[in-house]
Amino acid sequence: MSRKDQQLVPISLTDLEHNAHVTMSINALDYYRSGANEMQTLRDNQDAFSRIRLRPRILRDVSKVDTTTTLLGHPVSSPICIAPTAMQRLANDAGEKATARAAAKAKTCMILSSWSTTTAEDTIAAGREIPVDTETPGLPLYWFQLYVYKDRVATEQLIRRVEKVGYKALVITVDTPFLGRRLADVRNVFKLPPHMTMANFENKDSKVTMATILDQEEAAMEAAEALLEKNGAGKKKETRVIRQESSLAAYVVSQIDPTLSWKDIAWVRSITKLPIVVKGVLTAEDAIMAANIGVEGILVSNHGGRQLDGVLATIDALPEVLEAVRGRNVEVYLDGGVRKGTDVFKALALGAKAVFLGRPILWGLAHDGEEGVSLALSLLKQELDLAMALAGCCKISDITRDYVQYGHAARL
Ligand SMILES: Cc1cc2nc3c(=O)[nH]c(=O)nc-3n(C[C@H](O)[C@H](O)[C@H](O)COP(=O)(O)O)c2cc1C
Ligand SMILES: CCCCC(=O)C(=O)O
């Protein structure tokens, strides 16, 4: 039986992941599925949900369940949203356009990555081609994930572009001053195929172009080779090892600003009216800093276990973040390891306003483009609907801390 023959008719996100594993090229699959180093945090993001137990209430009329909610005041059909993931055309040629269209159909929020393989303009335009169905509540919502470049002019230029076309918030990723070490990418010498580009930097007016990116890679490789020659190591295999260190990671070193600090968040705040969400907060201390600087949202995230390995699972970090900003005017969201309706329910019960999906959207894209993303979103929404009904909750605001407990021991 060939790998492709092992595909399942997907009835859960796990099935979609299985299908991606048997159909995708190893280069793209490894880039998508990997975590950093030993991948302890990657595993824990999912495991930690299993350590939390549910406390359902019975004998309530649950014949009608309503999953609608709001994000920064904007109505969406459910608290299940799309996290930013780079280079979606690696999964399916329709890439970010397909995701945007599925988000529009689902009436949920999509965060577009700075590192998309479709421009911010083309992505939102694709989503807007979907007629808004007025029968069901909610509206599509697009936010833009910002990497702050060393070149502040280029960064500001990108902000102006996304403001102009209608992205409704900036999600600033703060956990990536350098790229985490994903061993499979190092081994595979991961590279974007030549026919794809980091589309947001292709624009003729852009200060950061594909040429800069490629130049940086070349420069890093030349430097690695020169070093090897100097050390008399000249063996091909070793050259390759050093070369391998230098593609995505070298780009990040050359372009993304590792000096990023709270004053830069204040700088972004000062140049835009868009609400700001800080993505990558894991501690009470940083949550307080974010609230003090006046951001509108905090996304509790460990980048899907791809940055610092060994940090807390996001569902375990969530309570301290929420506690720290209690009573402050800031929404708190979570991403990382959300795969089941009960995971969404647990995050909401602990106090998250919404959850964001990273890899499951990519598995959906790989399975069947726009239809696959729609399937991923609807499977999870149906599971949330059922979990709510079985736990005795008819609306999102019914889901409170009383519905969960840590561990399996009875509460005495
Ligand atoms: C392949 C891949 C690419 C990603 N690219 C970005 C990115 O460009 N910007 C960003 O802020 N986060 C990025 N992330 C992190 C996600 O936004 C999110 O935090 C994470 O995937 C959530 O975990 P999950 O995959 O378990 O749902 C990426 C994650 C993956 C798996
Ligand atoms: C600067 C890193 C961009 C891609 C990314 O976030 C990831 O691969 O996790």
pLDDT for residue 240: 42
- Any atom of ligand 1 within 6 Å of the Cβ of 95: no
User: Residue 53: pLDDT above 70?
Assistant: yes
Residue type, 197: T
In angstroms, the CA 168 to CA 149 distance is 21
Could you tell me if the CB of 83 is within 6 A of ligand 1? yes
Contact 37, 303 (CB under 8 A): no
- First-residue to last-residue Cα distance in the chain: 53
Q: What is the mean predicted confidence (pLDDT) over 200-214?
A: 59
Task: At 227, give phi and psi (nearest 5°).
Answer: -60, -45
Structure tokens at 206: 């852009």
* Mean pLDDT value of segment 314-325: 98
For ligand 1, the distance from its centroid to the CA atom of residue 86, given in whole angstroms, is 7
Gap from CA of 224 to ligand 2 centroid (Å): 23
Position 245 pLDDT exceeds 90 = no
Averaged pLDDT for residues 216-242: 51
By the 8 A CB rule, do 143 and 109 touch? yes
Collapsing DSSP to helix, strand or coil, 140 comes out as: coil
Closest CA to 25 of 182, 251, 244, 191: 191
ipTM over 0.95? The verdict is yes
Residue 18 annotated among the catalytic residues of the structure? no
E-state strands within 255-323: 276-281, 297-300
The Cα–Cα gap between 203 and 223 comes to 29
CA distance 167 to 121: 10
DSSP label of 309: T
**Nearest ligand (C-alpha, residue 44):** 1
Q: Binning pLDDT at 50, 70 and 90, where does residue 243 land?
A: very low
Q: 90, 112, 115: which to mutate for ligand 2, most atoms within 8 A of CB?
A: 115
Closest C-alpha among 103, 148, 154, 111 to residue 130: 103
Average pLDDT over the chain reads: 91
Q: What is the mean pLDDT of residues 177-190?
A: 91
pLDDT mean over 166-173 = 98
* pLDDT recorded at residue 89: 97
Closest Cα to atom 6 of ligand 2? 86
**Any residues with Cβ below 6 Å from ligand 2, and which?**
86, 115, 147, 176, 179, 252, 256, 303, 306
Q: How far is the CA of 263 from the centre of ligand 2 (A)?
A: 23
Q: What is the pLDDT of residue 195?
A: 87
